[in-house]
């Protein structure tokens, strides 16, 4: 007599019952069958090996089925890692790509905290909380919007050379703020037609000094 077909959750429960070895042990298993792929991650084409497992992980998702991706770098430069998704309709490579998109968000939060004082306000009223955070992110977006058309070229000129970072080849939010500050000072100080040449010569070093401020 044939057995009735089991649902995916029942299959996952069965796999759970077999006590999967620790996920990182799977990455170290020399007999494991890896899928080799090249995935666009963080703006680069990255070669990696991966395994996909659909299983239940009660401490993390309870009775909901998880898609688990175990990643191994054959070159050994990156550590073995695991990624999880509750969406079983997407592939393992899509999970990795989506996770890599978190990096711009992490950079955004770091920038608003370090350069725009996101953590400084001590709000005690609910309305203040709903106003302060959106305003800071609006200023962040406004800075990017102002520089985007042509300002990125000026930002490259305003970028400071760091002896410990010779490979820097892109514009940071700090460079953008420095560019906007320099342009604002130029406009406010030198747009006055009554300003004589001697005074302009005296003030110019102070305007250039704006580039070094953080």
User: For the chain, what is the mean pLDDT?
Assistant: 78
Mean pLDDT of 181-202: 79
Q: Is the pLDDT of residue 97 over 90?
A: yes
Q: What tens digit of pLDDT does each residue of 24-39 get?
A: 676 666 677 889 999 9
- Spell out the residues 6+ positions from residue 25 whose beta carbon is closer than 8 angstroms to its own: none
Q: What tens digit of pLDDT does each residue of 132-188 get?
A: 889 999 999 988 887 776 655 666 666 666 677 777 777 788 888 888 877 777 777
Q: How far apart are CA 188 and CA 118, in angstroms?
A: 27
Nearest to 111 by CA among 173, 170, 158: 173
Give the model's confidence band at 110: pLDDT under 50 very low, under 70 low, under 90 confident, else very high. Answer: very high
């Amino acid at each position: 007599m044939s057995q009735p077909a089991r649902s995916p959750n029942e299959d996952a429960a069965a796999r759970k019952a077999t006590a999967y070895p620790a996920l990182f042990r799977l990455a170290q298993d020399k007999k494991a069958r890896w899928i080799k792929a090249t995935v666009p991650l963080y703006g680069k084409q990255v070669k990696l090996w991966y395994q996909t497992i659909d299983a239940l992980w009660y401490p993390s998702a309870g009775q909901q089925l998880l898609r688990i991706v175990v990643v191994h770098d054959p070159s050994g430069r990156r550590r073995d890692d695991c990624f999880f998704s509750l969406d079983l309709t997407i592939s393992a490579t899509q999970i990795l790509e989506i996770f890599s998109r978190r990096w711009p968000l992490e950079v955004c939060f770091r920038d608003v905290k370090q350069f725009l004082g996101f953590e400084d306000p001590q709000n005690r009223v609910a309305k203040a909380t709903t106003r302060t955070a959106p305003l800071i992110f609006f200023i962040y977006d406004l800075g990017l919007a102002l520089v985007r058309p042509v300002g990125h070229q000026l930002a490259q000129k305003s970028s400071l050379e760091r002896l410990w970072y010779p490979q820097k080849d892109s514009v940071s939010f700090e460079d953008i703020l420095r560019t906007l500050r320099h342009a604002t000072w130029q406009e406010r100080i030198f747009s006055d037609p009554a300003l004589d040449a001697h005074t302009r010569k005296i003030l110019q070093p102070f305007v250039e000094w704006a580039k070094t401020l953080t």
